[in-house]
Structure 1
């Protein structure tokens, strides 16, 4: 289980290592180009119904922490899907089928 630490957020965002690795490529590319965008997800079963969105901006501190020491193989189609989503006015919307229920927090899978 990877973790996305964003700004001074009270809670880290727990994300499956594979999904986080794919998101990292897209997020790093967008921020390196000085492009801001949003990242949204549906709440998991351990939280009240709803969704959350964060505004990703190059000036806001961001850190990716991975549970596994070895990077997973990346799927170019998944990276392209996230990149296409990031380039829309809605930003990256992590598909509902990539979310697992967890009592520990938000969990996304690739």
Structure 2
């Protein structure tokens, strides 16, 4: 399980390590290009019903924390899917099975 820390938010976002590794590549690429976009997910079971969206911008602090010490092997197709999604007006929607809740 990985954790995404965003800005000064009091809540961290728990994401499957493999999904977070793929997201990290896309997010870093977009932000390095000074491109902003949204990242959305549906709330996990045990949380209030609904969904959340954050606006990713190069000026907002962001930290990726992984449970596994070694980086996983990345799937170029998955990276491309996230990148294509990031380029739409809806931004990236993390699939339900990749979200583990909020800390």
Same fold flag (TM > 0.5) = yes
Partner in structure 2 of residue 14 of structure 1? 14
Q: Give the structure-2-normalised TM-score.
A: 0.94
Report matched runs for 1:85-96 at 5 Å.
Answer: 85-96=85-96
Partner in structure 1 of residue 83 of structure 2? 83
1:9-32 deviation digits (Å, cap 9, x = unpaired):
011111111000000000000000
The answer to whether 1:34 aligns with 2:41 is: no
Counterpart Cα distance in 1 of 2:97 and 2:14: 16
1:42-93 deviation digits (Å, cap 9, x = unpaired):
0000111110000000000001011111000000010000000000001001
CA contact (8 A) 2:11 2:102 kept: no
Offset of 1:97 from its aligned partner?
4.2
Provide closer, same or farther for how the CA distance between residues 83 and 41 of structure 1 changes in structure 2, counting only shifts above 3 A. same
Structure ranking higher in strand proportion: 2
Q: Give the structure-1-normalised TM-score.
A: 0.88
Counterpart Cα distance in 2 of 1:75 and 1:32: 21
Structure 1: gaps of 5 or more residues: none
Counterpart Cα distance in 1 of 2:7 and 2:98: 24
**SS of equivalent to 1:29:** helix
